[in-house]
Structure 1
């Protein structure tokens, strides 16, 4: 009887479990490691700020280097502001060449 229950084709899987399994199969985006670096560099530059939002803007590729662009939204001492972070790296070695920050009020 137990085997008939286990192998029965009438076992229903709750829809929420299907959704959870599907969500867990999403691939890691290629910019993920650069996003982690952007957040770490931002924490170094703004140690008292809290990162409250994160956006990958895009990638600009050149023959020798690539630049990943991010916007982080920070909160510090009751003030909220945005920071654009550009991470330029060597295409072959992935060595970081330059990290730039630009604050914005929007």
Structure 2
């Protein structure tokens, strides 16, 4: 999803296609890079697509680089992503509860 929440699993996909007058389906691999440490090279599927799944994505730009093959030149693409902060919760407990005046308690 875009936007996503910090720590949420996100799938990023790229499709490499021929530009006319060229035809056919590119082969090879693409490299995904993005803030948060995403740096993964993935082979293209037979339809020219490649996907990665990550939980470390941060707000910024996802860049994809295609390495090219014997018939297609290298190329790049990019898209902006937004990763919002996750909601947090604080739980407080007292032990023992109830206690008596002067008794040591753990909070």
TM-score of the alignment, normalized to the shorter chain, above 0.5: no
Q: Which fold has the larger relative contact order, with Cα–Cα distance below 8 Å and residues 6 or more apart in sequence?
A: 2
TM-score (norm 1): 0.27
Q: TM-score, normalised by structure 2?
A: 0.27
